[in-house]
Amino acid sequence: MKPILLIHGYSTEGRNNTVQAIYGSLPDDLRKEFGESVITEIDLSRWISLDDGVSLDDVAFAMDRALHSTEHEHLLKSGFHVIIHSTGALVTRNWIKNHSPKPSPIINFIHLAGANFGSGLAHIGRGQLARWGRKIFGGTESGIQVLRELEFGAGKTLDLHLHFRKKGNGMLADYQVQEYCLIGSQIPELMRPLPIRYVKEDSSDCTVRVAAGNLNFAYICIEPKPEYLSSDGPLLTAAKVTTMIKLRRRKKSVPVGAEYYHASTGEDMAAPIQIPFAVPFETAHIGDLSIVHGKATREQVLPLIKSALSVPENDPEAYQGRVEFFREATEETFRQAAQLKWKWREWYPRSQYEKHAMVIFRIRDQHGNSVEHFDLYLKSDTSQAKDAVSLPKLLEDKHINRYEKGTMTMYFRLQKSENGFEDLLDHVLGLDLEITGHEPLSDEILYVPFSHRLEPDDIRGLIKPLATTVVDVVLLRLPSSKVFAITREG
C-alpha cells in the first residue's frame, strides 16, 4: 500500500499537543487493520490554524513546500493516500487546486467529518469571549483567517468547491483523485447541556453539519438573460423597473422580474460525479465518539476507511462501486437510529438523526460585487390541506456571512421521527421565491427583482436530505439615466 498522510483540523494543534495526541489511536488502528507489512508508512502532519495571520492558502503553500522537501518528496513521486479530519479537507483541496499537477499524486482522499461547507462554530470562535478563552487557557490566538473560510457561505470556500466542478478541473476526471466522505450525526453527552445551538444541532456531529460534510452538493446559477446585459439588446431602464415594482405593490399577484432571468447549472460546469458518502452510527466530531480516535466508533468507521484505501489508483469503476457500499452503511445507521428510545437524561435521541439540508444563497450583481442589502422571501399558501407542509416552517436556522453580507445560509429539517422517519418534503407546499436588492446610498441605482414559482417537485429537486445546495444569484444592477449622460452642443 502507498504511504498514508494524516491531516488534522482547526485548533487541534493547541499549544503543546504532540502529533500522537492529535491523531490518537488512528495510526495504530490503521496498522492493525491492514498489517504492519502492508502499510508502507504513515505520515502525521502538523499545521498551524490558530495564528490569526495564517490563512488556508498559506497552509496549502506550506504543505506544498513540505512535500517538496528532501525528506518527503518521495510522496510526490510514488503517490500517496490522504486521510483528513475537519478543516484538513479545505487544506487538502486548496493544495490540489493551487499546487497539484494533473493527475495528482493523491490517490484516495478520505474525509473524516470534513468541514467542506463550514461550521457554525466558526463565527462563535471569532468572538471576543472565545479569543480571550484561548489566550488565557490555551495560550493561542483564534485563527481569524482560517475561521473566516470556515464560516457558513464563505465565498472563497464556495469557489474552491466549484473549481472542481468546472470542465477540465474535475477531481476524478482530471486530477484523478478518489474522494470519500464520512461524517457522524451524534452529540457527545457532556456537550448537550451547553447553551450553544451549533454544538447540539440535530443532523450534525457537534461541530459540522452532516449536510456541510457531504461533497455531493447541488449547484444552480440564476442570472440575467444575456440580452439584458448587452448594449445591443433590449434596453431595460431603471424607470421601467420602478414602474414594475409599483405595479407589484398594488397587485400582489403580479410577478416581478422573472422574465429577465434564467436558471442553469453553470455553462462551464461538468456533470457532478457521485462521491461515496456515509454516516456511521453514534459517531461524533470529538470525544469518546470521535470519528478519528473514538474507541466505540472503530467498528463503524474502520471498514469504510479500509474499503476506500483498497480502491486501486485511477480505477473509476471500483471507485463508483464504493458509492453503494457507503450508502448501505448509511442505511444501516438509520435502521439502528429508528430503534433509539427516549432517555430521561437527554432529549429524544432519535431526533438527532432526522435528516436536514443546507441551502446557501450567494447574491451578487453582474459585476461580481456582493449585494449586501437584500430581501429573500419564501412565501407559501398555508390555507391548503391540513397535512401540507410549508417550507418556511421547516427552517431551523439562517446565517448571514459576516464578511460577505450578500450570502445567506438556511438550514431545514426534512424529517420527523415520532413514528419512524417521515419525510416532510413529501407533503411540501409550492412557494414563491422572491429576491430583491437595494442600494441605500443612492436613489439612482436599482436592482431588477427576481421572482419564481416553485412547485413541490421543484422544491424536492432543489433541496436534498443530508446535502447542500448552492444557489448563485446575479441580480441586475441598473443605474438611472442621470448616472451618465451625454449632451450634444452646437
Residues 98 and 229 in one domain: no
Burial class (CB in 10 A: 0-12, 13-18, 19+), 62: middle
Residues 184, 297: contact at Cβ < 8 Å?
yes
Domain boundary (307, 337, 367) is at 337
Extended beta strands in 205-291, E state: 218-224, 261-264, 277-278
pLDDT for 179 equals 98
Residues 427 and 304 in one domain: no
Mean pLDDT rounded to a whole number for the chain:
90
Q: How far apart are CA 292 and CA 302, in angstroms?
A: 10
Kindly state whether residue 370 falls inside one of the protein's structural domains.
yes
Residues 244 and 292 in one domain: no
Per the structure, the count of domains in the chain is 2
Domain span at residue 101 reads 4-216+272-337
pLDDT for 51 equals 86
Residues 211 and 222 in one domain: no
pLDDT in tens, 206-247: 999 999 999 999 999 999 998 888 777 667 777 877 777 777
Kindly state whether residue 485 falls inside one of the protein's structural domains.
no
Q: How far apart are CA 391 and CA 179, in angstroms?
A: 32
Spatial strand order in the sheet of 277-278: 42-44, 4-7, 80-85, 106-112, 178-182, 277-278
Residues 208 and 224 in one domain: no
Kindly state whether residue 346 falls inside one of the protein's structural domains.
no
Which residue reads 422580474 in cell numbers? 257
Residues 262 and 135 in one domain: no
C-alpha cell recorded at residue 230: 448587452
DSSP category for residue 242: H
Kindly state whether residue 168 falls inside one of the protein's structural domains.
yes
Residues 129, 53, 407, 212, CA torsion sign: negative
Domain boundary (337, 364, 387) is at 337
Residues 359 and 466 in one domain: yes
Residues 223 and 371 in one domain: yes
CATH number for the domain including 278? 3.40.50.1820
Kindly state whether residue 454 falls inside one of the protein's structural domains.
yes
pLDDT for 129 equals 43
Residues 397 and 298 in one domain: no
Domain boundary (282, 312, 337) is at 337
Residues 282, 183: contact at Cβ < 8 Å?
no
Give the residues of the chain that fall short of pLDDT 50: 129, 132-133, 136-137
Respond yes or no on whether the N-terminal peptide bond of residue 440 is cis (omega within 30° of 0): no
C-alpha cell recorded at residue 171: 477531481
Residues 434, 451: contact at Cβ < 8 Å?
yes
Kindly state whether residue 436 falls inside one of the protein's structural domains.
yes
Burial class (CB in 10 A: 0-12, 13-18, 19+), 250: exposed
Kindly state whether residue 258 falls inside one of the protein's structural domains.
yes
In angstroms, the Cα distances linking 123 to 8, 108, 134, 143 are 20, 31, 15, 11
Residues 228 and 307 in one domain: no
Residues 161 and 301 in one domain: yes
pLDDT for 11 equals 84
Angle, nearest 10°, between helix axes 298-309 and 26-34?
A: 60
Residues 257 and 142 in one domain: no
Residues 389, 429: contact at Cβ < 8 Å?
yes
